Amino acid sequence: MNSSIIETDLKKLPRPTRNKPKLAPKIMHFGPGAFFRSFVASLIDEVHKESVEKWGIIAVSLRSKTTFDKLVMQDFVFNSLAVSSLSKEVQQISSISEFLVAQKNSQAVLDALSDEKIEIVSLTITEKGYHYNSDKKELDFFNQNIIDDLENLEKPKTAVGFIVAGLKERYLKGKSPFTVLSCDNLPSNGAVVKKIVLDFAQKIDPFLAKWISEEVCFPSSMVDRITPATKDQDIINFAEDYGTFDPALVIHEEFFQWVIEDKFSVGRPNFELAGIQMVSNVELHEKMKLRCLNGTHSSLAYLGYLAGFNTIAECISHDIMVKYIQYLWEKEIIPTLEAPEGEDLNDYCNELLGRYQNPEIEHRTWQIAMDGSQKLPQRILETVDDLLRRRRSFQGLALAIAAWIKYATGVDLNGATIDVRDPLANDFAIIAKKSKTSEHYVDSILDLSKVFPENLRKSSIFREAIQNSHKLLEQYGSLDSIKKLMVAVEK
Ligand code: CS2
């Protein structure tokens, strides 16, 4: 279905309209994509149902106008649809009060950031949006946008540039700071964003950096709600079912989990009213979610893509794939984890399997496969590192890593082109071109310090395991490699 059909037929239908007064903004959110809308905006809306105090949101897109164009025609109100095989529940979300496209109007973003009325700056900018060099554990000072922002903080391009510019104004004018709340799938996301903000501020003014480190809170948070990119067909179906044309519609599972470290610079919404968990330490929750969910998601994405499967639900309809991820959970992932309070890791993974099986969620393997170089370290490689240190087997995850390495060549097992979206896509292409054999290629990829931690790069056991898995994949293809692996581990 193409967008011209949407334009001609559905445009005649009414768009969502605001039926509650617009709220005074107290949150500024960077990264207004589908996940922000199905999660942050939607859960803040839930809080509002129960609370007199309201937290309006200014949504900020750094560059793209796409989401703005969809929302501006409907006063920033949109629908979120929770789907399962049993039910569909629609919620109209009106927590977004304003929307700014920073590239077009950076001054408006800076003005709002320097206004004390904004008490929280939240982020869903994806892993790469942090410009965090995980090898050196600092801000990536070689990134051109960071270089530009450090030279010209009057007109920032990056989230970290805007945050520091906003905090600088507050510091200079003696105003109270805002809290910076990361909602991205990174371990210790609060500590990561604090580090990049301090690295940036230090270059500008060490006194500012000192003030930030003393006054500004950077709570970590674990976020979870499966939200695939909305398709044109979803918008058409929604229009037919509900009589509304909503191009900003988001579709997601009913399940959500948001665990936030309770550490805020000024005020915060009464998050508990929406079932959000406020805790003193979120680390175990983050690890559990990143390794159990995102780790198997990425494994299914690469192996599934190479097997010719379009979606996670399609992967999971094959018994061998189910067996494989159950094996990953039981033998390779759960043994590296400590259960957070109130969680049972086996129950957590069983529930996850049910979530993957949701037939109404069409989550493309290609979408999850994006930005693998940024995702693999915390989803899979840290687990493997733990297993290696404990001299435990990691053959299951080795196969997933090998599948990513194959995927990164940009050519699948049948010789067809893969549209690889990754900040390191160019590096992969250069390495693939230079390598005389598959073995050389794998070896050079394993040398990438931006992806693989030193302990893995230097381990001959690790290198050999990945080389063997890669050979298996090239010889037998994805599904048969999984079958062989399962036979081997069951012996
Ligand atoms: C997915 C996540 O796209 C991906 O990489 O693994 O977006 C996943 O759906 C969410 O983290 C679930 O909370």
In whole numbers, what is the pLDDT of the chain averaged over residues?
96
pLDDT at 11: 81
| Domain end (from 279, 298, 327) | 279
Q: Could you tell me what percent of the chain has a pLDDT over 70?
A: 98
State which of 247, 279, 311 marks the end of a domain: 279
The atom number, within ligand 1, closest to the CA of 371 reads 5
258 and 380 belong to one structural domain: no
- H/E stretch holding 352 reads helix 345-356
> Based on the domain organization, do 316 and 455 belong to the same domain?
yes
Residue 454, CA atoms < 13 Å, CB-side half-sphere = 3
Residues 197 and 317 in one domain: no
Residues 36-75: tens digit of each pLDDT:
999 999 999 999 999 999 999 999 999 999 999 999 999 9
Does the pLDDT value for residue 8 go beyond 70?
no
Residue 161: CA count within 13 A, CB half-sphere: 26
As given in the structure block, the two tokens for residue 162 are 């805007």
Same domain, 237 and 366: no
- What is residue 293's DSSP assignment? I
Number of domains in the chain: 2
Compute the distance from residue 57 Cα to the ligand 1 centre, in Å: 23
The average pLDDT across 204-212 equals 98
Phi, psi of 417 (to 5 degrees): -75, 140
What is the distance in A from the centroid of ligand 1 to the CA of 425? 20
Identity of the residue numbered 487: V
Q: Round to whole Å and give the CA distance between 399 and 478.
A: 9
* pLDDT, tens only, 133-154: 988 999 999 999 999 999 999 9
Task: Decide if 283 contacts 335 (C-beta within 8 A).
Answer: no
Q: Give the number of other Cβ atoms within 10 Å of residue 237's Cβ.
A: 16
Distance 206 CA to ligand 1 centre (A): 37
Question: Which of helix, strand or coil describes residue 246?
Answer: coil
With a threshold of 0.75, does the pTM exceed it? yes
The answer to whether residue 275 scores a pLDDT higher than 80 is: yes
Q: What is the pLDDT, as a whole number, of residue 6?
A: 59
18: confidence class by pLDDT, cuts 50, 70, 90 = very high
Question: Can you give the CATH number for the domain in which 17 is found?
Answer: 3.40.50.720
Residues 347 and 471 in one domain: yes
pLDDT of 5 > 90? The answer is no
Question: Which pairing describes strands 257-261 and 221-224: parallel, antiparallel, or unpaired?
Answer: antiparallel
Report the pLDDT averaged over residues 152-157.
Answer: 97
Residues within a 6 A CB radius of ligand 1: 185, 224-226, 293-294, 297, 367-368, 375
Q: Could you tell me if 122 and 35 are in contact, meaning their C-beta atoms sit under 8 angstroms apart?
A: no
Question: Domain span at residue 296?
Answer: 283-490
Task: Judge if 394 and 262 occupy the same domain.
Answer: no
Which tokens in the block code for residue 451?
A: 């992806």
88/165 same-domain check: yes
Q: Please write the tens of the pLDDT for every residue from 75-121.
A: 999 999 999 999 999 999 999 999 999 999 999 999 999 999 999 99
Query: Rounded to the nearest whole angstrom, what is the distance from the C-alpha of residue 170 to the centroid of ligand 1?
Result: 34
Question: Given this model, what pLDDT does residue 88 score?
Answer: 96
The model's pLDDT over 304-361, given as tens digits with 9 standing for 90+, comes to 999 999 999 999 999 999 999 999 999 999 999 999 999 999 999 999 999 999 999 9
Q: Residue 133: is it exposed, middle or buried by C-beta count within 10 angstroms (0-12/13-18/19+)?
A: middle
Residue 263 sits in the same domain as residue 190: yes
